[in-house]
Structure 1
Amino acid sequence: MSSRRGEFLTPGMSVGLMGGSFNPAHEGHLHVARMCLKALGLDRVWWLVSPQNPLKSDHDMAPLEKRMGDARALVIAAGEKRIAVTDIEIRLHTRYTIDTVTALRKRHPGVNFVWLMGADNMLQFPHWARWRDIAATLPIAVYPRPGFTLKARLSPAAMLLRPVTIEASDALLLPHLGAPALVFLEGREHHASATAIRAARRSKGAS
């Protein structure tokens, strides 16, 4: 699969943007993408494989090519054609989410983009560059994560966005709402963790 497969978009399509290091991509990422595809009625989910997350150390970070390759292999093995693994931030020359989503909206007018965020990231959201501008640029869907789902609903960002938060039962409306708009999705939590996977690999390598 080319890293650009699934990137061809037409006006009226609904596309979820799922950013992250994907270090490595795992079954939890697939679970979340499928949850969002169904709950939000999305046509595509793009995995935006970040060259380097500004909020994370580059320690133990696999090269971008390795992370892209592993993510593509996972998607191919799953037979999931609605997920596109992309390094588009490299081509857009963007580092921060606000710059990426702004560029994508200009590049694909008429496409309904939704930012997909884990409950754990909702707690960190106020530390993102121009996070209020992100919320004002495109709707946000928050998916459940073990140990963080309830905390996310009580987070400062959630409190600020409470007036524009819709019920999970209305999630299909989100891609068609103007920003700001927020929904907390409901569903099974997946316990896979890239941090745990890397730790297990290090332990195996040391044994």
Structure 2
Amino acid sequence: MTVGLFGGSFNPPHAGHLLVSEIALRTLGLDRLWWMVTPGNPLKSRRELKPLADRIAESERLARDPRIVVTAFEKSFGEAYTARVLARLKAIRPGVRFVWIMGADNLKSFHHWQDWQRIARTYPIAVIDRPGSTLSYLSSKMAQRFDEARVDESDARALARMRPPAWTFIHGPRSSLSSTAIRAAGSAR
């Protein structure tokens, strides 16, 4: 089985998350895509974060595709950092081929994540294009550090079977929606 792992706060989930999911499912040939709804993000303020149960319920209402599974196992693992969660997941599911999915907007700050290089050496990574991030990904530290591991987008379907580090940048339709903008619009009312 090939599973995409799409982590985030989903605060709130929106059609842009669905678009990234659809692109990943189709382009990578995934069997499933797990939305990893995080209890919190060490790089972001918790002030505006809705309760985890609310974000999970909202995500489940939005993600109607049966291939998309909303999860919160990060909380059950008791880990706050993606690298630790992913290492544990790989250990308990050794027969599953996982691909880490991230928006290009997150690639710019990926080098600030704890053990980001370990993530890149443990999981193939698919970076999905986002508005305003198409060209900036080239200058990201991750793209520079793992330049030789970049896989052409035309070979993206094989990414899950490649030995990490391996990553690709996937172009396609882009949504300008963002959880930050949605929250800001809601507080402006």
Q: Please tell me the TM-score bracket, short chain as reference.
A: over 0.9
User: Aligned-pair distance for 1:92?
Assistant: 1.4
**Mapping for residues 43-62 of structure 1, pairs under 5 Å:** 43-62=31-50
2:76 aligned partner: 91
Question: What do the CA deviations read for 1:72-95 (whole angstroms, capped 9, x no partner)?
Answer: 1111xxx30000111101111111
User: Aligned-pair distance for 1:181?
Assistant: 0.3
TM-score, normalised to structure 2's length?
A: 0.98
**Mapping for residues 97-176 of structure 1, pairs under 5 Å:** 97-176=82-161
2:13 aligned partner: 25
Question: What do the CA deviations read for 1:105-135 (whole angstroms, capped 9, x no partner)?
Answer: 1111111001001111111011000111111
Identity of aligned residues (%): 46
1:193 aligned partner: 178
- C-alpha distance in 1 between matches for 2:78 and 2:175: 32
For 1:199, give the aligned amino acid: A
- C-alpha distance in 2 between matches for 1:25 and 1:151: 24
Q: Please tell me the root mean square deviation across aligned C-alpha atoms, in Å.
A: 0.8
Question: What do the CA deviations read for 1:28-48 (whole angstroms, capped 9, x no partner)?
Answer: 000000100000000111111
| SS of residue paired to 2:127 | strand
1:39 aligned partner: 27
- C-alpha distance in 1 between matches for 2:60 and 2:36: 12
1:64 aligned partner: 52
2:188 aligned partner: 203
User: Aligned-pair distance for 1:153?
Assistant: 2.1
Q: Larger C-alpha radius of gyration, 1 or 2?
A: 1
Query: Structure 1: any 5+ residue segments left out of the alignment?
Result: 1-12
How many matched pairs? 189
User: Aligned-pair distance for 1:165?
Assistant: 0.4
User: Aligned-pair distance for 1:59?
Assistant: 1.5
- C-alpha distance in 2 between matches for 1:163 and 1:109: 26
User: Aligned-pair distance for 1:144?
Assistant: 0.5
- C-alpha distance in 1 between matches for 2:182 and 2:108: 23
User: Aligned-pair distance for 1:61?
Assistant: 1.0
| SS of residue paired to 1:149 | coil
User: Aligned-pair distance for 1:154?
Assistant: 2.2
For 1:187, give the aligned amino acid: G
